[in-house]
């Protein structure tokens, strides 16, 4: 097995045993990126010199007796998280040359833990999209089929993990942007409870929905990543002040007596039959492991899509107003007319999907429409959260498909925004409710494309979610299958 194929915990064991150094591990992953990323296009910015220096420092720390789950581990960062001295573009022309003077809290925690940061991964512009086709630079590709999308908006991070171009990655999830690409790329994607991970230094899309999450090769790695990045941060007013447990302690493989709910609203007409079959087989596997399975109802699920596409664009309209061509980022026009500068900068700096969502949000917030749209959407959001609260009184976790289909072809849905938005129909509700949820592989379709399954939990229910996901993963081998990229076939 090549070093780049290792999981985080396997690499950690090898480093601790002295089988290889952090520098050797980083070099192996960087060589892998050179060999494969021309096809996958997972990265927007690579920082090999910085990564090798961080690896050298990690080796020094280890030689002094230091240890830790991420010490010397090569990771990637979605390009919406601020990284000191490294470009942070949000996949947008408007921030193409923006270099932050500070690190996001989650990035700072990774650095403090001794992680080796390889670079910044591709993303839909300002995290607005389900395919990474909205990146202003180029579309990331799915390692299982380079003609298909990796999902979005954390498509670059998911593709990098699936292609062994990093051992793990950070992404962000506003309406499914960690889980949907994880499902389409056959990796693990964890969206923590809203507020469990600080959003300080995350360039905002929709502030009441955004959450930083982890993409990893298996559930154990996701637990390790969460354990490092979680925790209270006074610089984020929405950060939860609660102790961070050892998430790996619950990974016992035991689910005897765990109550698993299956929501009837998540098995809908029009979904790919192979997806439904794989998820139902996974539920049966959990039952065979000793879990109790029952049907639950989340009656307001059908409203999640319209509610999300009112609330998220409204918040985006407010958050993206700061890109005015005056303070930082792109500036177009030297006419001296402030309004013309705004128009020219935003007109050339923002892509079509960002413009669409800003216009939707501005309309929903405008005088005469606020009560009819935005306020009503917030009221229905409360009902959606109430559905989950009621369901979690009956069950410990809820299991459902991550996406209604496997990965679609690049260009297949770009002319039909509604079809693109429907890619997230199973993921949106959990962001509206603020709950925790993990996607993991549960099968493949006839074309060899991965199928993802969500394990949902209540607020701060990450331990139960990880426990159930790990038990299923340990009883199956889906996560061990790897895509055959061109460099492997040579």
Angle at 328 between CA 324 and CA 331, to 5 degrees: 55
First and final CA of the chain: distance in angstroms?
Answer: 16
- 403 as an active site residue: the answer is no
Contact 234, 210 (CB under 8 A): no
Token output for 435: 């709950």
What percent helix, strand, coil does the chain show, rounded to 5?
45, 15, 40
Burial of 314 (0-12, 13-18, 19+ CB in 10 A): buried
Task: Please give the Cα distance from 377 to 307 (Å, whole number).
Answer: 5
| Residue 292: strand pairing partners | 259
| Residue from 92, 135, 153, 439 carrying the catalytic annotation | 153
- 153 as an active site residue: the answer is yes
Question: Distance of alpha carbon 95 from its chain centroid, rounded?
Answer: 21
DSSP-based three-state secondary structure for 19: coil
Minimal CA–CA distance to 187: which of 426, 446, 442? 442
- 177 as an active site residue: the answer is yes
Contact 360, 309 (CB under 8 A): yes
Token output for 332: 């177009």
| Residue from 22, 131, 157, 177 carrying the catalytic annotation | 177
Task: Please give the Cα distance from 182 to 214 (Å, whole number).
Answer: 10
| Residue from 22, 41, 78, 198 carrying the catalytic annotation | 78
Q: Where are the alpha helices (DSSP H) in 86-218?
A: 105-112, 155-162, 179-185
Q: Which residues are catalytic?
A: 78, 153, 177
């Amino acid at each position: 097995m090549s070093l780049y194929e290792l999981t985080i915990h396997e690499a950690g064991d090898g480093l601790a045993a002295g089988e290889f150094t952090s520098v050797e591990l980083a070099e192996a992953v960087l060589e892998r990126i050179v060999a494969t990323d021309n096809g996958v296009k997972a990265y927007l910015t690579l920082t090999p010199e910085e990564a090798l220096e961080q690896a050298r420092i990690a080796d020094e720390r280890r030689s002094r007796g230091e240890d830790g789950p991420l010490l010397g581990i090569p990771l990637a960062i979605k390009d919406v998280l601020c990284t000191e001295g490294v470009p942070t573009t949000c996949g947008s022309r408007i921030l193409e040359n923006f270099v932050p003077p500070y690190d996001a809290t989650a990035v700072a925690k990774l650095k403090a833990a001794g992680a080796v940061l390889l670079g910044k991964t591709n993303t839909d512009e300002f995290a607005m999209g389900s395919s990474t086709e909205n990146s202003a630079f180029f579309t990331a590709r799915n390692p299982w089929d380079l003609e298909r999308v990796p999902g979005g908006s954390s498509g670059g991070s998911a593709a990098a993990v699936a292609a062994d171009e990093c051992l793990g990655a950070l992404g962000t999830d506003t309406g499914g942007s960690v889980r949907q690409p994880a499902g389409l790329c056959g990796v693990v994607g964890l969206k923590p409870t809203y507020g469990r991970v600080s959003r300080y230094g995350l360039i905002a899309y929709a502030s009441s929905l955004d959450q930083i999450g982890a993409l990893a090769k298996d559930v154990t790695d996701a637990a390790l990543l969460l354990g490092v990045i979680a925790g209270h941060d006074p610089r984020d007013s929405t950060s939860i002040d609660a102790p961070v447990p050892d998430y790996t302690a619950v990974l016992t493989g035991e689910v005897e007596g765990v109550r698993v709910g299956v929501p009837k609203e998540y098995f809908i007409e029009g979904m790919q039959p192979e997806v439904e079959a794989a998820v139902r087989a996974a539920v049966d596997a959990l039952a065979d492991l000793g879990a109790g399975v029952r049907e639950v109802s989340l009656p307001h699920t059908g409203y999640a899509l319209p509610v999300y596409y009112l609330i998220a664009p409204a918040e985006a309209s407010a958050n993206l107003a700061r890109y005015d061509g005056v303070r930082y980022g792109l500036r177009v026009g030297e006419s001296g007319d402030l309004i013309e500068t705004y128009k020219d900068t935003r007109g050339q700096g923002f892509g079509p999907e960002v413009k669409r969502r800003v216009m939707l949000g501005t309309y929903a917030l405008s005088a005469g429409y606020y009560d009819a749209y935005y306020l009503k959407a917030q009221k229905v959001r409360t009902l959606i959260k109430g559905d989950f609260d009621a369901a979690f009184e009956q069950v410990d976790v809820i299991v459902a498909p991550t996406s209604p289909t496997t990965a679609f072809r690049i260009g297949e849905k770009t002319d039909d925004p509604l079809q693109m938005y429907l890619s997230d129909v199973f993921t949106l509700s959990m962001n509206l409710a603020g709950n925790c949820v993990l996607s993991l592989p549960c099968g493949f379709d006839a074309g060899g494309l991965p199928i993802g399954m969500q394990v949902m939990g209540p607020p701060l229910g990450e331990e139960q979610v990880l426990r159930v996901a790990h038990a299923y993963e340990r009883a199956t081998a889906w996560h061990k299958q790897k895509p055959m990229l061109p460099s492997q076939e040579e």
